[in-house]
A and B are shown apart, each in its own frame.
Chain A
């Protein structure tokens, strides 16, 4: 059975975008469409409700071979280590992530930025530790680079996952218009 493709990363780091790329590449997506698209993610979230309950029940992964599923960090640590995975790890400047989240939640969290930054650092650390301890192959895709040079990033994804699409076919999904909350400070 082929590997489960997991797209991970912190919320608002381009995980939905990467799911969209995989969708474009004809990779079957594990999703249920419960979370509709909205202004923060106009193309949709590509989420599976079961993922939220992964701590208690990760059996949905048993039938996920060959499919792509979005599991935000640090939830991959609750995945079954005995299954085979390939993980695409979306990375983005944490400051930008925080700004993007604040915008989405319509909440000023400037007085708690360091708190969330630290929590996210821990989430990333934990997730990487899990990947390394379980020898799970992964690739880091930097959201900011993806936006600046989509062809290059797409080539990396294609090579890592062994996709048959061309970078040009996939890069079309990337819409720099959606690149908001750039950290220019």
Chain B
């Protein structure tokens, strides 16, 4: 019989690969390295907004914050006040509840948030357990009762309380490894405070570590999950001193504190080493972080003075390492997200994954991919999974101390009371603003989950023009653009311009998006070029510019813009995707493949990136791999028709009748039908062909202008209402025909010089008979169209050289 699976899950808030790799290379993180060497590693994509309590709850539940209900750092206490986030607001099962239902034993230490603790099968020690403050007072080490509802089962409270380390117990000597020259400090108040902060972080993490190691040794368990917030706190406090010295950083301060962050990583590795020594090699070890932390040139120069402002220092990818029986060794996995941790834990125990989870099990970690079981939802499982040990009561002193901690860390603003202010009124306003802020996080979480209507609805309710907040306004403009409410976006842009709330380049960027939405790419390009000129080092502007150039099929220039964006931000998933698309349209499939892989590695939940990846692989004749990519697209976006077409074509190519049948059926369900399209360079021959078709009694839907200036393919469902036998689609608009139809395309070949002459005459262009610019444009356009048709799965194409050919048998069969 296989040995029972045991898992040690270690959470290091804000751990980042950049520093981990550097310190491993220097031999300073041997414990972490030992796990990496015998397991798989990957980047763990964070969620927006990257706020730890929301992220760790997503990690523990597999769902996004708008579903789990933990929003921000504080929450309403139901009595008109606020308190630090707690377990009260979590609306769904966490893995420890699921495991309890299944009879598995969990130890959960310090998860954020986990107060009050829950009566699970196992032991739970909350994130408030190590709190040494009560109200404004710091309790003395010898008179230090534990925070209410912070230990389950309660009978363990006393013995575990003994393990706590009080900040007063951290001597100067213990701080020395972090600040070796502490003795040189000239004892200015602020310097003293910095040392005290380090002592506090050390004390808190020592407590978490002590409880974790105790439970590993003294309890029976299936999973032990230990969460450390200290690394994040160390980084927020001291990353600005980390080498290389940031511009403007005081040299003396840099010398003193430059080793603190490194010291914090080493300290975490030491704690990890102890835990690894406590477990056997059959225990699976998972180490993960909720986001990374910028440690290089991407460190922000200043932290914005807004709630959760410090989150700007977070990098979008955390770490993920897993090692143990049945898990691959020395390999890298791609596309992992914080949402995937719980589904993956479930598969480790052969337990079903909820279909309603936003995350997916990370099957690439396994040497042999297990068969995953699914259930609709763990929320329908009525078995006992643990319940909160405390009623929803207000413990003012404990709450206010925890709130103060969040204020000290810069995560929430303090209440500002000026002379003459009515305290009750100010307090009410403070609570209102805090709840408003949480609604903003909720809206952001909806947007990150692709629910832009829900985001917009919330933002319009919380936005207040008398107290404009640039973050809220950006969210509204973006959501308005995403939901194609361009007039609304423009209304807000007019407001921010009037009030001068954003920088010009930012307004330009957003206006460009509105222009794109309104099918006005030339205006959009102007706005973006202005933004790039104003702010040449913004990866976001460059990505937008690249996207637009791709729309305009200016592939070379698009590559250039994306290339610059990647120099500035090598992890930008959208820049990788855009670069790949530009390469793909230039038929450089090897490059496209490389960039699409980079993109989905950095951000997995992008159906279109997987689609283009699959298309590239198919065009490179890597059919099996292409198939896998299309299957991912279907999993991520089941209503997208193209992957089904590709899968049908691939099945046909590999003569897999069963699959052909399967995808034929699926296609029939989503396919809107077949359309016959006439296209070609807009010259005399095209006109002849269309005349011939009309004379043969077939009707053609065609606009007046052969160049398609009057042809708006961006209109939603424009093709649905067309009843004619055939549709003329201008060659420049060919790439925009909707994917839910199959097509037979009659492509009229004509010599570019003839077309140029025809257009010169008809359009009375001033260049006379030889119009070099026009010829170049036509050549480009035709090149693009030919590449595009060659890359599509859902069309059959027949080229026609002269109008009379329309009468031949092959053509008649084709169009009938």
Contacts and interface: CB of A to CB of B under 8 A. Distances in A.
A121 to B, nearest CB: 9
Interface string B481-496: 0000101101110110
B297 interface: no
A122 B487 contact: no
B488 A114 contact: yes
Nearest to B490: A114
A113 B491 contact: yes
A113 B494 CA distance: 12
Interface string A98-133: 000000000000011111011100100000000000
B461 interface: yes
B456 interface: yes
Nearest to B486: A114
A115 B460 contact: yes
A147 B463 CA distance: 36
Given A111-B494, A111-B495, A119 B488 contact: no
A119 B491 contact: no
Contacts of A117: 488
B491 A112 contact: yes
A112 B461 contact: no
A114 B461 contact: no
Interface in B428-472: 453, 456-457, 460-461, 463, 465
A111 B495 CA distance: 8
A127 to B, nearest CB: 13
B495 A114 contact: no
A112 B476 CA distance: 13
A118 B460 contact: yes
Contacts of B480: 118
Contact of B456 (A111, A112, A113, A118): A118
A117 B490 CA distance: 14
B461 A118 contact: no
B465 A118 contact: no
Nearest to B479: A118
B457 A111 contact: no
B491 A111 contact: yes
Nearest to B487: A114
A111 B460 CA distance: 14
A114 B495 CA distance: 12
A182 B152 CA distance: 66
Contacts of A112: 465, 491
Contacts of B487: 114
Given A112-B465, A114-B487, A119 B494 contact: no
A119 B461 contact: yes
A114 B457 contact: no
Contacts of B488: 114-115, 117-118
Given A112-B465, A114-B485, A122 B457 contact: yes
B495 A118 contact: no
A119 B461 CA distance: 8
Contacts of A118: 456, 460, 480, 485, 488
Contacts of A122: 453, 456-457, 460
Contacts of A114: 485, 487-488, 490-491
Contacts of A113: 491
Nearest to B485: A118
Nearest to A117: B488
B58 to A, nearest CB: 26
B478 to A, nearest CB: 14
A118 B459 CA distance: 11
A112 B494 CA distance: 10
A117 B735 CA distance: 34
A122 B480 CA distance: 13
A119 B491 CA distance: 14
A50 to B, nearest CB: 22
A118 B492 CA distance: 12
B439 to A, nearest CB: 14
A185 to B, nearest CB: 14
A113 B485 CA distance: 13
B460 to A, nearest CB: 5
B249 to A, nearest CB: 43
A124 B456 CA distance: 15
A122 B458 CA distance: 10
A111 B494 CA distance: 9
Interface in B128-178: none
A115 B462 CA distance: 12
Nearest to B488: A114
A49 to B, nearest CB: 22
The residue among A112, A113, A122 with the most chain B CB atoms within 10 A of its own CB is A122
Contact of A119 (B453, B460, B492, B495): B460
Nearest to A115: B460
Nearest to B460: A119
A119 B459 CA distance: 10
A14 B495 CA distance: 31
Interface string B567-597: 0000000000000000000000000000000
B810 to A, nearest CB: 52
A107 to B, nearest CB: 12
B9 to A, nearest CB: 39
Nearest to B463: A115
Contacts of B456: 118, 122
A117 B460 CA distance: 11
Contacts of B485: 114, 118
A115 B465 CA distance: 11
Nearest to B495: A111
A118 B481 CA distance: 13
A183 to B, nearest CB: 16
Interface string B175-203: 00000000000000000000000000000
Nearest to B458: A122
Contacts of B453: 122
Interface in A3-50: none
Interface string B527-555: 00000000000000000000000000000
A113 B480 CA distance: 14
Nearest to B453: A122
Given A118-B480, A119-B461, 13 more contacts: A111-B494, A114-B487, A114-B488, A114-B491, A115-B488, A118-B456, A118-B460, A118-B485, A118-B488, A119-B460, A122-B453, A122-B457, A122-B460
28 contacts: A111-B491, A111-B494, A111-B495, A112-B465, A112-B491, A113-B491, A114-B485, A114-B487, A114-B488, A114-B490, A114-B491, A115-B460, A115-B463, A115-B488, A115-B491, A115-B492, A117-B488, A118-B456, A118-B460, A118-B480, A118-B485, A118-B488, A119-B457, A119-B460, A119-B461, A122-B453, A122-B456, A122-B457
Interface of B: 453, 456-457, 460-461, 463, 465, 480, 485, 487-488, 490-492, 494-495
The 3 nearest A-B residue pairs measured at CB: A114-B488, A114-B491, A122-B457
